[in-house]
Structure 1
Amino acid sequence: MSAPLDIGVYAYEHTAALVDGRVTVDGMDTTFETAPLVTDIFCRMLEGRYDLAEFGLTYLLRTFDVDDAPFMALPIFPNRNFRHSAIYVNTSAGIERPQDLAGKTIGEFALYGHDAGIWPKGILSDEYGVTPDQCRWVIGGTNHPIPAFDWIPQPVPAGVDVRHAADRQTLGAMLESGEIDALISVDVPLAVLNGSTAIARLFPDYEAVERDYYRRTGIFPPMHIVAVRRELSGRTDLLQAVYRAFGAAKDLAERRYLDDAAKQHMSLVTPWFSKLFDDNRRLLGEDWWPYGVGANRKAVDTFLRYHHEQGLSKRLLTSQDIFVPALLDT
């Protein structure tokens, strides 16, 4: 058996079988560790605590611009989400359509170019002609103040106005008060959850907009991948075993929903879940959360283009550049 591997991953339902030991990595002595916040896993990976770990796509790409880039990617996508729903506006700011964001002050969660911000900014540019340099940006925590993430490179392109919120400020409160006009955030502002009329989503019927986006593009936006230390990136047997294990854990989660469909998902407490499951299956297919390069190349290359266009990567990368050679044919 090979030397022990330490792997960090958030305990989603599709990774839970790895964390609790129901699924193991063939021929490998592995320890899976999770954390209360997924960014804790990112930080620990950068500190050298893990051999492989879940990693935000932008966090990975930022390391490609440093000397001796430490990581490569496995085409495993633990976190993905449609992000039209991540754009919020103050209802008194005069923002009725995406084009009205030009000239506005926009908050962004955590850092300029977080994973859930790169996607909507790219979509706003591609489909509505609104580019980041047309806006002013304030970085911070949505519901709780957070300091700047000084443990990861934070490039800001020339010509883009970016500042960090004050120590005790939250972007959610700033949006509700009108201090900022809009917000792009992975976190939902508490004011929205509490029913405030001062904040609305830019796309009120975001589900319909996001479903239409998928129909047109085939993209289910990935946010995170699994990163591996570059010195391990040539270990074909190891990487293939890890890839299979993550796939097996995901298959268990998907199989549960397929098996429960015959009983109208009685094991779940969410009403009308079976209708949602049927709708999603018709749109997204039998494997609605695919791993592998082939099924995700367009989405990943789109993100890589957005990352470069937004001034966060010095060069335009492709899937061929970031994924380990052993898994390029997946």
Structure 2
Amino acid sequence: MSNLRLKIAFWNYDRTRPLTDGTVKFDGVDASFSSTPIVSEIFERMIRQHEFDVSELGLTYYLRTLDFDEPPFIALPVFPNRCFRHSAIFVNTSSGIKKPQDFAGKTIGEFAVYGHDAGVWPKGILSDEYGVTPDQCRWIVGGLDFPMSPIDFIPRPHPANVDVSMVPEGKELGEMLQTGEIDALIAADVPKCVLDKAPQVARLFPDYKSVEREYYKRTGIFPIMHTVVIRRDVLVQHPGLAQVIYRGFCDAKDAAIEQYRTGMIFNNMGTMIPWLSQLLDEDRQVLGDDWWKYGVAANRKAIDTFLRYHFEQGLSQRRLTCEDIFVPELLET
């Protein structure tokens, strides 16, 4: 596999940066790396043009490609983006929503696409833990604080009994939340009106850190947003490549963990964020020394939960398992 040239794309994460700066290398691979300011641009280029040999993909974006007649990708159990999502739910303060159960009967905005990665998790949690299912709400999908063209490079299914429409032309979900045109919003990104502390908007869970930590302690789930995929045709041509790519991502993650650990010696002066070392200590107490764990075994519960939500929300044609979505030779990781 010496000097195998590969095009690889992912966002500029701290746990992938050791690959792009050369600290960590893929064994026997001459890699050229690409990134974009908005990670979904990588998704589109990979799905439309198969532009990269290896690429980060949103988990729901990848799962939807499995419904193609000839699925072009298969995933590695690498998860560069994961985030707790109780904090992704925002409400208009005049909507009458005081608790999760109040979502029933309301009009909810959702960023980008019905069932984006940061939307699948909150919908599933609202259903599992509070008894509010998507069919009890009306959904409006669109851009957050800027006009956004419909995402048309993946299938966009939703159950027939769920009311889903696109944001009206000239409207944006952030503004609609502030004016009360929608009652609530689920979004991976924080709307400007929330950042500006507009009095008309709030989070459903104001103390979201405590809620999310309690959720993790109770369930053991650190929600997964994105995975890494490899083109199936490339894998056929180069047996064993999946293990090489997986190992490289693991080594890069381990290098980032070590950088944070040693950074505490010098008070993390690379960022100088006040009390960052204390936060790292607190996170280790809750999540362990490696909260970005890769591999199937350490993440099976989180993955299976997402796959169940994806099917229940009408986004998958069948109930998938880890064995359906990951490279077979990495299922024992």
Matched, 1:323 2:326: yes
Find the residue that maps to 2:240 and give its secondary structure: helix
Deviations 1:219-239 (A, max 9, x none): 110100001112234544211
- 1:56 and 1:225 in contact (8 A); partners too: yes
Alignment partner, residue 122 of structure 1: 124
Partner of 1:165: 167
Residues 250-286 of structure 1, C-alpha deviations (whole Å, 9 max, x = no match)? 1111111111223332332211111111100011101
Aligned equivalents of 2:270 and 2:4: distance in 1? 40
Secondary structure at the residue paired with 1:5?
strand
SS, match of residue 29 in structure 2: coil
**Structure 1 residues 75-121: Cα deviation after superposition (integer angstroms, max 9, x where no partner):** 00010000000000000000000000000000000000000000000
Q: Which secondary structure does the structure 2 equivalent of 1:4 belong to?
A: strand
Give the CA deviation at 1:150.
0.8
Partner of 1:295 in structure 2?
298
Write the deviation string for residues 119-149 of structure 1: whole angstroms up to 9, x where unpaired.
0000000000000000000000111110110
Is 2:183 aligned against 1:202?
no
Partner residue, 2:93: 91
Please state if 1:250 is matched with 2:253: yes
**Of 257-266 and 50-59, the range deviating more from structure 2:** 257-266
Distance 1:30 1:266 in 2: 31
Higher mean C-alpha deviation, range 49-58 or range 160-169: 160-169
Residue number in structure 2 paired with 1:182 = 184
In the other structure, the counterpart of 2:158 is 156
2:138 aligned residue: 136
- Counterpart amino acid of 2:118? A
Mapping 1:263-278, distance limit 5 Å? 263-278=266-281
Shift of 1:158: 1.0
Identity %: 58
Structure 2 CA distance for aligned equivalents of residues 8 and 42 of structure 1: 9
2:106 partner amino acid: K
Partners of 2:222 and 2:44 in 1: how far apart? Answer: 26
Distance 2:240 2:24 in 1: 17
Q: What is the alpha-carbon distance in structure 2 between the residues aligned to residue 300 and residue 263 of structure 1?
A: 36
Q: Is structure 2 residue 7 aligned with structure 1 residue 14?
A: no
CA contact (8 A) 1:19 1:33 kept: no
Distance in 2 (alpha carbons) for counterparts of 1:260 and 1:48: 38
- Offset of residue 43 of structure 1: 0.8
Correspondent of 2:53 among 51, 54, 58: 51
Q: Which runs of 5+ in 1 are unaligned?
A: none
Aligned partners of 2:38, 2:149: CA distance in 1, in Å? Answer: 15
The residue number in structure 1 matching 2:317 is 314
TM-score by length of 1: 0.98
**Equivalent in the alignment of 1:279:** 282
Equivalent residue of 2:316, what SS?
Answer: coil
Point out where structure 2 has 5 or more consecutive residues left out of the alignment.
none
Q: Does 1:259 align with 2:262?
A: yes
Partner of 2:112: 110
Provide TM-score, normalisation by structure 2.
0.97
Corresponding residue to 1:192 among 194, 206, 212: 194
Show CA shifts across 1:60-79 (max 9, x none).
11111121111110000010
Look up the SS of the partner of 1:232 in the other structure: helix
Q: 1:2: Cα distance to partner? A: 5.3
Q: Name 1:216's counterpart in structure 2.
A: 218
- Pairs within 5 Å for 1:31-70: 31-46=32-47, 47-70=49-72
Does the residue aligned with 1:261 lie in a helix, a strand or coil? helix
